[in-house]
Amino acid sequence: MSNRRDPARNRERILRAATVEFARHGLGGARVDRIAARAGANKRMLYYYYGKKENLYLAALEAQYAQIRSAERALELEHLEPQRALRRLVLFTWSYYLEHPEFLGFLNSENLHKARHLRRSRRVREMHFPLVETLRGTLRRGERAGVFRRGVDPVQLYISIAAEGYFYLGNRYTLSQIFGRDLMAPRALAARARHMTDLILAALRR
């Protein structure tokens, strides 16, 4: 009946509720009461498990990064032919942002705070080595195969891939408003996916 039985599950529910709240309202705008209500927990429990709002925020933020990086690794880009690998990464990133809008919210919030919290996290830094290395490897394979031009920086490339999806989706409200279009209509989304892949692959072509 009550939540007294499964601590790990309660802890997890709090984290999930917090993720939604922080993504939606940012760190400052998030309300501890709402998190508790959504988690079906007593407000006091947030403090029992996480000590304070900011710690809970950091825990949620780390989990966000862990999730996307984990899903990315599952793509196994190393085993794909270079151009296919890139296309796949572009489309994966796009889909991930589309299906996990919370992630975008966290990035915004954390940058508003100049990454003050991320800086405290070792875990997150370590998560990103493999991503860069995989991308670097893919580019090199493409160069050797003669399909990619030389000298592309994997970090710059990844930032571009992320940027194309992130900006479109994260700013969809203002963009829809100023351009007078519904950017989230299925057709619009499909068009964006095509535009992005074309753009990235064209840019890599030799």
Partner DNA sequence: GATGAATGAGGGTTCATTCAT
Partner DNA sequence: GATGAATGAACCCTCATTCAT
Which positions touch DNA (CB under 7 A)? 2-7, 10, 30-33, 41-45, 47-48, 51-54
Q: Supply the Cα-derived Rg of the chain in whole angstroms.
A: 20
Residue among 191, 169, 200 at smallest CA distance from 87:
200
The residues facing 184 across adjacent strands are: none
Give, in order, the Cα–Cα distances in Å from 91 to each of 24, 55, 108, 149. Answer: 24, 33, 22, 21
Q: Report the nearest approach of a second copy to the CB of residue 202 (Å).
A: 5
- Residue 109 CB, shortest distance to DNA, in Å, is 13
Residue 62 token pair: 């780390």
Region from 49-57, 86-94, 138-146, 155-163 binding a second copy, contact rule CB under 8 A: 155-163
Q: Please state, in angstroms and as integers, the Cα–Cα distance from residue 110 to each residue in 46, 71, 101, 107, 188, following that order.
A: 21, 21, 15, 5, 29
Q: Which stretch binds a second copy (CB under 8 A): 9-17, 25-33, 41-49, 75-83?
A: 25-33
Closest separation in Å from C-beta 57 to DNA: 9
Q: Give residue for tokens 């940058």.
A: 111
Does 25 help bind a second copy (rule: CB under 8 A)? yes
Contact residues for a second copy, defined by CB under 8 A: 25-26, 28-29, 65, 105, 107-108, 110-115, 118-119, 124-125, 127-128, 132, 153, 155-156, 159-160, 162-164, 166-168, 170-181, 191-192, 195-196, 198-200, 202-203, 205
